[in-house]
Amino acid sequence: MTKTGVMRLEPAGPVGEGLEPMEVDPSGFAPGSDVPEQSIHAYFADESIGLTVGVWTTTGMTEKPGPYPGDEFMYLLEGRLDMVDGDGEAVPVETGQSFAVRNGIPVSWTQEAPFLKKFFLLLHDEKKPVPDIDSAKGGVVVMDPMALEAKLEPEAENIGGGEQRDALAFTNDAGTMTVGMWETTPFETEKAPFSVHEFCQILEGEVVITDEEGTEHRFGPGEVLFIPKGTVCSWKCDVPLRKYYAIVDM
């Protein structure tokens, strides 16, 4: 499923396909926890690097504490949860928030809400050993737009005749995944192959992305897209644009 192209993520999955039920291992959950019902649609998967992008749902659950399986960026569409570390400290995440989790941190996904849905980008190479990390401190980063706005700095090089600023929120230990907030004044680029994998959550403004065949894809606030590495496309914004991003560069 390593196709290229401009991919619009839909909460219910692609029309006519929807989400598929997942097999769930009961041993992964805390004593007394319900075994959840989970479903998924993967818009993109590259097993060679352990990258998956899609939409996922679950009923309520409490996972056993343990190392988190991969570096992940998530946008919570429905429900709420707490990421609880070994000391009982909880990081809450509410509907509409986005957050990143560091690979290998010792946490428990604790969810009393009866239903949860998220868009996600997960980088998890099962062939590599799990990092030995003692503390979850700083390993769950909930995106704070006001704090990130204060950190925005001009890009070293502007593109497409616009002016861009960026604020970095998270970098994985391998240096292959970055998460942050990016904004630009109106700009337009020429068609060219995308040099990275990028998950985008549009916060403000509107962008038109034109693919190699000339099809225009228009995205506005609240919408999410994914562009795999190698996708030939151009970007055009007639108004200022702000987005969250998760980039995998490998």
138-191 confidence digits (pLDDT tens): 999 999 999 999 999 999 999 999 999 999 999 999 999 999 999 999 999 999
Instruction: Look up the pTM and report it.
Output: 0.96
Average pLDDT over residues 204-232: 97
Model confidence pLDDT, tens digit, residues 42-90: 999 999 999 999 999 999 999 999 999 999 999 999 999 999 987 888 9
Query: Under 8 Å CB-to-CB from 160, ≥6 apart: which residues?
Result: 187, 188, 189, 235
Model confidence pLDDT, tens digit, residues 92-139: 999 999 999 999 999 999 999 999 999 999 999 888 888 888 888 899
The answer to whether residue 29 scores a pLDDT higher than 70 is yes
Could you write out the three-class secondary structure of 100-163? EECCCCEEEEEEEEEEEEEEEEEECCCCCCCCCCCCCCCCEEECCHHHHHHHCEECCCCCCCCC
Residue-level pLDDT at 134: 84
The answer to whether residue 3 scores a pLDDT higher than 90 is no
Ordered domains of the chain (ranges, CATH): 7-142 (2.60.120.10), 146-248 (2.60.120.10)
